[in-house]
């Protein structure tokens, strides 16, 4: 699985998102010294390509495919699928009740008046 957390992929020590190198073991974390180009590293024995979207859709033309141990173009398939999944709209009763408080109050009064008139 690819390195996506805020710990060094080599030594596991804590790193900041803008670190170019790991402050502990000096592993390069960004390519070409550019903070926007993250170097992703394979973990364990599994190459990055196995979980990469560009490998899955056959759009990668990198020479190191399919056995890349590090890559700047890596796209985590799982993360991508999560990001693309349709979000269920959250329905919040409290904000709904606040928004329609006046019609709710009037409706309740009408209902109460109707019940009282039916009972008398
Ligand atoms: S972009 Fe990198 S990790 Fe993805 S398939 Fe190509 S070489 Fe492998
Ligand atoms: Zn390190």
Q: Is the pLDDT of residue 22 over 60?
A: yes
Span 98-119, average pLDDT: 89
The predicted structure's pLDDT at residue 97 = 79
- Does residue 8 line the site of ligand 1, with CB under 6 A? no
Task: Quote the pTM value.
Answer: 0.68
Residue 119 sits at φ, ψ, to 5 deg, of -80, -25
Q: Is pLDDT at 58 greater than 80 in this prediction?
A: yes
Question: What average pLDDT is seen over the chain?
Answer: 90
pLDDT tens-digit map of 60-103: 999 999 999 999 999 999 999 999 888 776 677 777 778 888 88
Q: For every residue of the chain, which 3-state class applies, written as one string?
A: CECCCCECCCCCCECCCCCCECCCCCCECEHHHCCCCECEEECCCCCHHHHEHHHHCCCCCCCCCCCCCEECCCCEHHHHHHHHCCCCCCCCHHHHHHHCHHHHHHHHHHHHHHHHHHHC
Phi, psi of 72, deg, nearest 5: -95, -15
Q: How confident is the model at residue 5 (pLDDT cuts 50, 70, 90)?
A: low
Q: Do residues 40 and 72 lie in contact, with contact meaning Cβ atoms separated by under 8 Å?
A: yes
- pLDDT band (50, 70, 90) for residue 119: confident
* pLDDT score recorded for residue 96: 78
Ligand in closest contact with the CA of 11: 2
Q: CB under 8 Å, gap of 24 or more: what pairs does 111-119 form?
A: none
Beta carbon of 55 within 6 Å of any ligand 1 atom:
yes
| Ligand 1 proximity of 54 Cβ (cutoff 6 Å) | yes
Beta strand ranges found along 32-77 (DSSP E): 40-41, 70-71
Give the pLDDT mean for 48-63: 97
Ligand 1 test: best mutation among 53, 69, 73, most atoms within 8 Å of CB? 73
């Amino acid at each position: 699985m690819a390195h996506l957390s805020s710990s060094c992929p080599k030594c596991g020590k804590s790193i900041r998102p803008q670190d170019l190198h790991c402050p502990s073991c000096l592993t390069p974390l960004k390519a070409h010294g550019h903070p926007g180009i993250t170097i992703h590293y394979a973990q364990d024995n599994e190459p990055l390509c196995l979980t990469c979207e560009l490998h899955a859709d056959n759009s990668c033309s990198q020479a190191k495919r399919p056995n890349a141990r590090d890559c700047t173009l890596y796209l985590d398939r799982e993360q991508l699928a999560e990001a693309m999944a349709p979000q269920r709209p959250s329905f919040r009763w409290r904000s709904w009740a606040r928004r329609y408080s006046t019609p709710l109050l009037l409706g309740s009064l009408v209902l109460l008046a109707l019940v009282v008139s039916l009972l008398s």
